[in-house]
Amino acid sequence: MTERLPASLKGLRILHCFRAPMGGLFRHVRDLVEAQAEAGAMVGVICAREAGDALSEDRLLALEHHCALGLHRVRMGRLPGIGDIGAIRQAGAIANELGADVLHGHGAKGGLYARLAGGGKRVFRFYTPHGGALHYSRVSPAGLVFHAVERVLWARTDGIIFESEYGLETYRHQVGGTPPRHAVVHNGLREDEFVPVTARSDAADFVYLGEMRELKGVSTLLEAMAQLGGQSRLALIGAGADKDRFQTRARELGLEARLSWHAPMPAREAFALGRCLIMPSYKESLPYVALEAAAAAVPMIATRVGGMAEIFGAEAGRLLPAGDAAALCEAMKHKLGQGSEKTAAEAQRLQAHVRGTFSLNAMAEGVGQVYLAAMEARRAAKPARAPGHALTGAKG
């Protein structure tokens, strides 16, 4: 794995900053931390104190073994607040104490902290959006504030690394411009993830895996299940603030006997609980669960949101409009009646596309190249010091 990053990143002191160790954002950070550490970089993590669920906490503690610069937990709320002032100072103090060379923020809150925290002018600052504030309308009060702040932060950003072309285009539209230094580096998977998952003998017809949030389209999925009727079954796996409300809605729709609810678990275990993964999201960036399902050759029904078309490639015509329970119901009905050979062929074509496009090696190397390019650009921009003359106005 050490070939993933250029040798010139060896010894670099890198701090990754993000809020919640959950979901695709956390998967992305874990992969980067492990790859960078194995390549010889000194890596650390700054995140919120609360992990959200037991599985995420276990994964965070496991990640600590790869963190030569340590795992540091600070108080971070989901939305901006007065408490962020002290937390940003704390993050800056950590960066100073550890002599960080790179602060890499992930998600809206992580990006804010990485670029506002102290650490001195020598620190290189990078940001990877993962949806978050980009989901706010550009004309909403929250959107106006978030996007105005983002433009101001360009001056403190050495590079913005987008996980998809969709993410870049959304950023341009919402923020109102193109950041001066940016790159698109797709999320990637390990080669050992491209092994098919076989559904259990008692598997449900369909499975949902993700956060229990309205944004993920669970309400639409429940409506589609009610319209589908019959004896079809759905397994729902995940945790989140809206889970109780979804369970109440399921009872109102008379779905109790056809649904099973499960706590978060590793993706491949979850995939085996159903014969077709449903991703009914209203908003997404470049979801890891879709990449993982494609790699595992799991049949999938998904909405055309975020970077899903990039994941599906030539199969993108199968994607559905978001929030349309009737269209989702029809797709589920079609999948139930589709022959196993055709279903398997679709899954295998998607697996081949993802294997050729979304590599963890390429992701880790791409991020490393962005770091190196920013460092070279700063060196090139710094004027040479003439003998006997003070250097004025230099940044570095």
Tokens describing residue 195: 């092994």
**Per-residue confidence (pLDDT) for residue 1, from 0 to 100:** 41
Rounded to an integer, what distance in angstroms lies between the CA atom of residue 210 and that of residue 279? 9
User: What pLDDT shows up at residue 133?
Assistant: 65
| pLDDT values of the chain reduced to their tens digit, one per residue, 396 residues | 433 455 578 999 999 999 988 888 999 999 999 999 998 999 999 999 877 678 888 999 999 999 999 999 999 887 778 889 999 999 999 999 999 999 999 998 999 999 999 877 789 999 999 876 676 777 788 778 888 889 999 999 999 999 999 999 999 998 988 998 999 999 999 999 999 999 999 999 999 999 999 999 999 999 999 999 999 999 999 999 999 999 999 999 999 999 999 999 999 999 999 999 999 999 988 999 999 999 999 999 999 999 999 999 999 999 999 999 999 999 999 999 999 999 999 999 999 999 999 999 999 999 999 999 999 999 888 765 544 433 333 333
Q: What is the residue-wise DSSP string for 42-108?
A: EEEEEEES--SSHHHHHHHHHHGGG-TT-EEEE---SS--THHHHHHHHHHHHHHHHT-SEEEEEHH
Could you tell me if 241 and 367 are in contact, meaning their C-beta atoms sit under 8 angstroms apart? no
Place of tokens 């993982």: 292
**Structure-derived torsion over alpha carbons of residues 375, 379, 382, 385, reported in degrees to the nearest 10:** 140
Which pLDDT value is given to residue 335?
A: 97
State the CATH class of domain 191-357. alpha beta
Do 2-188+359-381 and 191-357 agree at the fold level? yes
| Residues present in the chain in total | 396
C-alpha 49/C-alpha 11 separation (Å) is: 28
Do 264 and 184 contact (CB within 8 A), yes or no?
A: no
Contact 180, 396 (CB under 8 A): no
List the structure tokens of 105: 């923020």
* Angle between helical axes of 141-153 and 107-116 (0-180°, round to 10): 40
Task: Enter the pTM of the model.
Answer: 0.83
| Torsion sign across C-alpha atoms 294, 327, 272, 24 | positive
E-assigned strand segments in the chain: 13-17, 42-48, 71-74, 102-106, 124-128, 159-162, 182-184, 206-209, 234-237, 259-262, 277-279, 300-302
For residue 55, the model assigns a pLDDT of: 85
Spatial CA neighbour of 129 closest among 99, 161, 155, 102: 161
CATH topology of domain 2-188+359-381: Rossmann fold (3.40.50)
**Domain positions in the chain:** 2-188+359-381, 191-357
